Amino acid sequence: MREEQCKNGEKIGKLTPLKYWGKNKRGQKKWLFKCDCGRESIGALCNISENYVNCCIICSRRKHMSADGDTMKTSKYWRLYKIWESMRSRCNNKNNPRYPTWGGRGIKICQKWNDNYRDFKEWALKNGYDYNLTRTEQSLDRIDVDGDYCPENCRWINAEQQASNRRNNIIVEYKGKKYTMTQLAKKFNIKTPYVIKRRWEKGLRDEELVAPAKQEFFVEGKYLTVMELSKKYGVDSSVVWARIGRGDTGLRLVRKKEKTWTKNN
Ligand SMILES: [Zn+2]
């Protein structure tokens, strides 16, 4: 679609597509763009979007530069700026090696933070960000590990909390058997045991503990998670999971159990 847009000469943000520029090492198509400021730059199509790269690098820096010049290494908020930058990259940039566990898993950044470093900074300062601390002493944490980067789901945590998040060799039970979180994550192909840990702490058990992140199923014209289906149709989530395991789809996932007829009926 973006390629169509380029071929039609349609602008993406401040970028006007000029011409196709061959492929990069990864085989991704590149285009030459002209930014509104007059600079020409080449970019991989997969990264160009209204939400991510939508102007040249100089304009981008200028746009996100705060009054203190946080994009400069000498700024006391340099660490904060890097946190913001790397969050955006792993959620939006398909070339980032960490993209599969973030953006690829459906983790997004709220519009305000994504579009504007200053909004993120304002939240950070109000919520205990301390520029005197290092990366290992304080980090940005999402409360619900399957949730997005947004004010409601984020907090700053200290080294001790980080360490406890990393302690994943806690034994948990799955269907009556004991596993370490790491074993369970491996068994169910979940990228990180941290996901299991968070769910366990939330009180999720069995199928909900090991469910693929944000997996949704199509029922009556809508994509819903198993928990949402269970709520909407009044069918226990374990029943829905069992049916998914059997290969059922659509309404078959949420039908009420058939009545058992006896001869006396
Ligand atoms: Zn520009």
What are the boundaries of each domain within the chain? 2-63, 65-165, 167-210, 217-253
Cα of 113 vs centre of ligand 1, distance in Å, is 21
What is the SS3 assignment for 227? Answer: helix
- The candidate with the shortest Cα–Cα distance to 60, out of 80, 88, 32, is 88
- Residues in Cβ contact with 244 at an 8 Å cutoff, skipping those fewer than 6 apart: 217, 226, 253
Quote the distance between the C-alpha of residue 29 and its chain's center: 25
**Secondary-structure breakdown of the chain: helix, strand, coil percentages, each rounded to the nearest 5:** 40, 20, 40
pLDDT tens, residue order, the chain (265 aa) = 689 999 999 999 999 999 999 998 888 999 999 999 999 999 999 889 888 889 998 888 877 765 568 888 888 999 999 999 999 999 998 888 888 878 888 899 999 999 889 899 999 999 999 999 998 889 999 887 778 999 999 999 987 887 776 665 677 889 888 888 888 888 888 877 777 887 888 788 988 899 876 667 778 877 788 888 999 999 988 888 888 878 788 889 998 875 544 444 4
Euclidean distance between CA atoms 98 and 46, whole angstroms? 16
What is the distance in A from the centroid of ligand 1 to the CA of 111?
21
Backbone angles phi, psi at 21, to 5 degrees: -125, 25
C-alpha 59 – ligand 1 centre gap (Å): 4
